[in-house]
Homo-oligomer: A and B are copies of this chain.
């Protein structure tokens, strides 16, 4: 990362994947770029990365690096299902609305969605939102996986007890619990717990572990958290196009993230910036937080003219993502490299334009 001469212009909040590579992650890539290594994961870096995951997520954890979140989610779902199965998720889950139908096309499954106000499923909402009478009926896709996102697409967080309640609900019905953890680090950091506390220890079966949104170049992992599931995943990963040849460079990133608390440092910082941003704008007249700020995202109901006025920063970077055009809700994501100055600059612009 180049050192700035003088204060740099403020950055936007379009997405946590608009940010770059954390220096420690880039260093980790360079550090393993020494000579030859067996490809496709038969290298020493991948072995030590896998060990890292076992330390964080328990001795049964088997981590498989993949390229991106879609690959992790689709691979995990494919490993757990047959095509006549259904995957239950919250309406608006990334899996449902932002994968261009990849789960249906690749795994062949149907998604069954349940409406929520805050992106979070509960046993009650699942009881009401799914027609459980169809279990065993050959005309209906059969629920097999319950998939939740933590933190959610609306910036909310499931705590360990909430996850455990869903795991119990799922296992009673012979479902497996999958966590789309594109932002699992933000969730664990927000709760000030270990990664295991909201996953393995809470009864999660499979985790899509996200690294890219938390400072990596591009690295995620499908992690099976207990024995007896995902046993053919090596083949699933290859056949779903997610097997990296020079895997050491993916593994090195993941290992860096799990080392020296980089995952927590980066995620906590992003969360803190989001809290600061939420706090800074909450008092402004005409502005309403559309969701509580629990992780690294801030959802604002903003008058349409403000949306238009503020959409781009002074350097032309996208300032936020228009989340719901009809309800005029925008999403601002903080990341490992968001600064207090970025937050202040946005709050100031917002205050100024609103005051007009």
Q: Is the CB of B232 within 8 A of A244?
A: no
Query: What's the number of copies of this chain in the assembled complex?
Result: 4
Q: Do residues B105 and A108 form an inter-chain contact, with CB atoms below 8 A?
A: yes
Contact flag A19-B36 (CB < 8 Å), given A101-B83, A234-B138 = yes
A15: CB under 8 A from chain B? yes
Say if the beta carbon of A116 comes within 8 Å of chain B: no
- With the chains together, A93 CA to B11 CA distance in Å? 47
Give the residues in chain B near A68, CB-CB below 8 Å.
67, 241, 243-245
CA distance A91 to B4 in the complex (A): 54
> Taking the nearest CB of chain B, how far is it from the CB of A140, in angstroms?
6
Contact yes or no, A86 B71, CB < 8 A = no
The reply on A317 being an interface residue by CB < 8 A is: yes
The residue from B21, B69, B142 contacting A235, defined by CB atoms under 8 A apart: B142
Q: How far is the CA of A19 from the CA of B248 in the complex (A)?
A: 11
Stretch at the interface among A27-35, A287-295, A301-309: A27-35
Interface residues on A, range: 35 or more
Dominant secondary structure of chain A at its interface with chain B: loop
What B residues does A70 contact at CB under 8 A? 238, 241, 243
Nearest residue, chain B, Cβ from A39 = B17
Chain B residues within 8 Å of A317, by CB? 36, 38
> Which of B1, B69, B236, B243 lies in contact with A33, CB distance below 8 A?
B1
Q: Which residues of B contact A34 (CB under 8 A)?
A: 1-2, 20
Nearest CB in chain B to that of A134: its residue: B97
A167 to B351: give the CA distance in the assembly, Å: 47
Tell me which residues from 94 to 117 in chain A have a Cβ below 8 Å from any Cβ of chain B: 97-102, 104-106, 108-111
Q: Is A141 an interface residue (CB 8 A)?
A: yes
Q: Assess whether A318 is interfacial by the CB under 8 Å rule.
A: yes
Q: By the criterion CB–CB under 8 Å, are A36 and B21 in contact?
A: no
Which of the residues B18, B217, B239 comes within 8 Å of A101, measured between beta carbons? B239
A7 CB to closest chain B CB (Å) equals 13
A26 sits at the interface (CB 8 A): yes
CB contacts under 8 Å to B, within A219-262, are 232, 234-246, 249-250
- The complex places the Cα of A344 from the Cα of B257 at a distance, in Å, of 40
Residues of B within 8 A of A32 (CB): 20
Give the CA-CA distance A32 to B2 in the complex, in Å: 9
Partner among B18, B40, B101 whose Cβ is within 8 Å of the Cβ of A36: B18
Q: Can you give 15 contacting A-B residue pairs, CB < 8 Å?
A: A11-B36, A12-B36, A21-B246, A35-B337, A36-B337, A40-B138, A40-B139, A67-B241, A97-B140, A100-B141, A100-B235, A100-B238, A106-B106, A217-B246, A241-B242
